Amino acid sequence: MGKDLCAQSTRIPKSQAQAPQVHATVDKSRILIGEPIQLMLEATVAGNAPLTWPALDSLPHFEFVGKGTVDSTVRPDGRYYRQYLTVTSFDSGTHAIPRLSFTVGSKRVFTDSVRVEVDFSKFDPKQDYHDIRDIIDVPNPYVKWIAWIVGAVTLLCLALAIWLVGRRRLLPGADGASRRGQPLLSPYDQAMRQLDELALQKAWENGPVKTYYTQLNDVLRLFVLRRLGIASLAETNEELIRGLRGVGLSEQAYASLAETLRMSDFVKFAKYVPAAIDNEHHFGVIRSSVGHMEQIARDVDAAQEQAMLAAAAAGGSGATVGNGRGDGTMTEKNRRQ
């Protein structure tokens, strides 16, 4: 046998085969201190006789390490129960697992005690004692790679920064002017150029209609931001419609522009597909709205300039405006008048 099974069981004569039978066995009869052993409890009862399992809270000289569940199976000679328990001992010497009590119906049945010898591990008393050693520092094999990794990451970050700067310089208008160094277009001229490009490309026929309305919307938003000073890029179309109410558009022009902006939302978010004639109509609304707002802004600028000239003339002598030197030299604006 591979295991040294030490079992003590209650012997039942053949004439009393139906009497309950209980067993307690261990897989080792000799262990070292702290070594676990497996204790198996078995019980066989006839029919459906009620069985009360022993309450195993503690065992003298032994400690429970683990307790398994009680399994049961039906056999020809009755119902069979089994449970595995893991125990150990820290007391040297020969100890016995005591008799365990099972109750079958109104009758108590005991297992025999199981003997277990607990001993120390073998050692040579003639050998010297080994002193406790200090903590040994174990070298980290990856330390030598840290400098290389840091250097590689630094080079990658530097290369990425150089690439981003170069890419920004190559983008049109990234520095506020064109690549040829020409001055930045006025808000109105830039909007008209972008609308002319859309018209030349016939974007409403040759591309996704959602992209076309997004481009129209962006042209208007950028013009409103640069020319009127309205923070339109961070607003929804409904917020933009409310913000444009007070810029001076006529009721008809304002209503047409509001309809076009709402149509842009329908196309982008509701996946609405307008007719081709509607696409051209909304293009014309954006172009005319930009023209109307540009004219309104120019009128406002002219009125402000006239007010400034009138105020300067009222504070000066005659039609001249002092230049801070008291010599009566006219400014460039006055010469244009």
Decide if 136 is inside a domain. Answer: no
Residue 9 pLDDT class (50, 70, 90 cuts): very low
Domain count across the chain: 2
Which amino acid belongs to residue 120? F
User: 288 lies in which domain range?
Assistant: 187-313
Same domain, 191 and 112: no
244 domain-assigned: yes
C-alpha 73 chain-centroid distance: 51
Same domain (yes/no): 75, 192: no
Q: Of 66, 96, 119, which residue constitutes the final position of a domain?
A: 119
- Among 15-24, 37-46, 130-139, 170-179, the range of highest mean pLDDT: 37-46
pLDDT digits (tens, 9 = 90+) for 13-31: 444 446 888 999 999 999 9
**Residue 145, domain member (yes or no):** no
State the pLDDT confidence band at 128, using cuts at 50, 70 and 90: confident
Residue 262, token pair as written in the block: 């709402």
- Domain-located, residue 130: no
Of the three residues 86, 119, 152, the one that is the final residue of a domain is 119
Max mean pLDDT range (60-74, 120-134, 263-277): 60-74
Q: Residue 168 above 70 pLDDT?
A: no
Domain identity same for 196 and 88 = no
> 200 and 300: one domain?
yes
User: Is residue 131 situated within a structural domain?
Assistant: no
pLDDT (0 to 100) of residue 316? 62
pLDDT tens-place string over residues 204-221 = 777 788 888 888 989 999
Q: 40 with 82: CB under 8 angstroms?
A: yes
What global pTM score does this model have? 0.42
Please tell me the least confidently modeled range out of 61-75, 164-178, 323-337.
323-337
The owner of tokens 């000073």 is 229
Residue 213 is assigned to a structural domain of this protein: yes
Candidate from 57-61, 128-132, 271-275 with smallest mean pLDDT? 128-132
302 within some domain = yes
The CATH number of residue 100's host domain is 2.60.120.570
Q: Does the residue 147 lie in any domain? A: no
Is the domain of 193 the same as that of 309? yes
Count Cβ atoms below 10 Å from residue 218 Cβ, excluding itself: 13
pLDDT-above-70 percentage for the chain = 82
Rounded CA-CA distance 37/64 in Å is: 10
Last residue of a domain, one of 102, 119, 136: 119
115 plus 196 within the same structural domain: no
pLDDT at 130 over 80: no
